[in-house]
């Protein structure tokens, strides 16, 4: 049997061309090209194209102008896009427990070491038909930005732009919510359709929102997850050498997540320079702000699937 199998393999190898065909993957980002949450992916693409010469290349097709952010999950799931840079909040239609990812208090490296990344990958494979390749955004918290001041965590009477990241928390604090893609935030602010928006500490100036923003509420909460996802059929069809290049590049880009600590400090300074004032609360109100974030966040995931919520909580917050 064994001899037969190796004879068959030898025949296949003999028939194969001396140099295996280079594979090209079509890549799309949920965030505009050159902006904060596309930059790690763009570095990842450049790295793959460097170390993967002759094996695998990524053709970076573009950002939200190529595929609308809330459609990108479907596009990579169905194989219209081979590789996507996307945040779980933009594909909750496919992975509704993905909201757990931004509730992480540890790093992508921790999640690889403790098996959490394998669990997250399995959920993505089963529910979305994608390989969960890499996670960026560690160390970057989310904040509430406002056009008018508040003096407590009570958000009643305020209309706030949201995504699934902030929904459970802001709803628990009484806000009226409207979901928009990042590309619609500027116009919504300019028209006065919203009194504020949820967004991470980084990237507020990318699309000029600082012009329309007066306040940032501190402290931040949660942790950004912007993930590299590969269509599963495409992934499984890749030569082993191509998968190895992508996996190496995944850990390479995750190592750069540590840079976010320094970038956070620069961003906070730039926001101050742009006239964005920081709102803080009394110690009791700050505790309420952060406790509501955690409790409402996990309750939201548990309402979707209590088993997955408990399982992921244990490895994302250890």
Residues that bind ligand 173 (CB under 6 A): 37, 87, 89, 163, 165, 182, 198-200, 224, 226
CB of 12 to ligand 173, least distance (A): 44
Residue with smaller CB distance to ligand 173, 77 or 163:
163
Residue with smaller CB distance to ligand 173, 165 or 245:
165
Residue with smaller CB distance to ligand 173, 51 or 172:
172
Using CA atoms, how far apart are residues 318 and 308, in angstroms rounded to an integer? 16
Q: Which residues neighbour 29 within 8 Å (Cβ) at sequence distance 6 or greater? A: 37, 38, 41, 42, 60, 62, 63, 64, 84, 85, 86
CB of 172 to ligand 173, least distance (A): 17
Using CA atoms, how far apart are residues 293 and 300, in angstroms rounded to an integer? 11
CB of 89 to ligand 173, least distance (A): 4
Strands 215-221 and 56-62: unpaired
CB of 244 to ligand 173, least distance (A): 28
Question: Which residue sits closest to ligand 173, CB atoms considered?
Answer: 163
Locus of tokens 């194209």: 49
Residue with smaller CB distance to ligand 173, 87 or 292:
87
CB of 66 to ligand 173, least distance (A): 17
List the 215-221 sheet strands across, edge first: 176-179, 159-162, 196-200, 142-146, 215-221, 277-279
Residue with smaller CB distance to ligand 173, 163 or 271:
163
CB of 202 to ligand 173, least distance (A): 8
Residue with smaller CB distance to ligand 173, 52 or 98:
98
Q: For the chain, how big is the Rg over CA atoms in Å?
A: 21
CB of 201 to ligand 173, least distance (A): 10
Using CA atoms, how far apart are residues 182 and 163, in angstroms rounded to an integer? 9
Nearest to 54 by CA among 21, 25, 26, 17: 21
Residue with smaller CB distance to ligand 173, 145 or 235:
145
CB of 135 to ligand 173, least distance (A): 11
Determine whether 177 is exposed, middle or buried from the number of CB atoms within 10 Å of its CB (0-12, 13-18, 19+).
middle
Burial 165-175 (b: 16+ CB within 10 A, else e): bbbbbbbbbeb
CB of 29 to ligand 173, least distance (A): 11
**Structure tokens given for 235:** 């992934």
Locus of tokens 């009394």: 282
Using CA atoms, how far apart are residues 77 and 117, in angstroms rounded to an integer? 19
Using CA atoms, how far apart are residues 269 and 221, in angstroms rounded to an integer? 19
Residue with smaller CB distance to ligand 173, 87 or 129:
87
Residue with smaller CB distance to ligand 173, 89 or 245:
89
């Amino acid at each position: 049997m064994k001899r037969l199998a190796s004879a068959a393999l030898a025949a296949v190898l003999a028939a194969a061309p001396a140099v295996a065909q280079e594979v090209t993957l079509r890549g799309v980002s949920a965030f505009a090209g050159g902006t904060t949450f596309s930059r790690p992916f763009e570095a990842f693409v450049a790295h793959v194209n460097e170390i993967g010469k002759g094996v695998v290349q990524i053709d970076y097709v573009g950002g939200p102008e190529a595929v609308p952010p809330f459609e990108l999950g479907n596009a990579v799931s169905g194989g219209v896009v081979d590789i996507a840079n996307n945040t779980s909040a933009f594909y909750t239609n496919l992975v509704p427990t993905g909201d757990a990812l931004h509730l992480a208090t540890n790093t992508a490296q921790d999640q690889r070491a403790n098996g959490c990344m394998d669990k997250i990958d399995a959920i993505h494979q089963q529910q979305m038909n994608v390989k969960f390749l890499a996670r960026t955004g560690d160390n970057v918290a989310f904040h509430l930005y406002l056009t008018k001041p508040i003096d407590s965590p009570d958000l009643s009477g305020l209309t706030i732009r949201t995504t699934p990241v902030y929904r459970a928390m802001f709803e628990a604090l009484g806000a009226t919510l409207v979901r928009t893609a990042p590309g619609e935030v500027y116009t919504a602010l300019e028209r006065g359709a919203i009194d504020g928006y949820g967004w991470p500490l980084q990237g507020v100036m990318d699309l000029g929102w600082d012009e329309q923003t007066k306040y940032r509420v501190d402290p931040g909460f949660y942790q950004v997850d912007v993930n590299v996802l590969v269509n599963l059929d495409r992934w499984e069809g890749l030569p082993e050498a191509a998968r190895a290049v992508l996996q190496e590049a995944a850990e390479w880009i995750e190592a750069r997540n540590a840079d976010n600590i320094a970038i956070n400090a620069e961003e906070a300074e730039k926001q101050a320079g742009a006239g964005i004032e920081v709102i803080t609360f009394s110690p009791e109100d700050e505790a309420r702000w952060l406790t509501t974030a955690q409790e409402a966040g996990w309750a939201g995931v548990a309402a979707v699937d209590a088993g997955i919520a408990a399982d992921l909580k244990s490895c994302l917050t250890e």
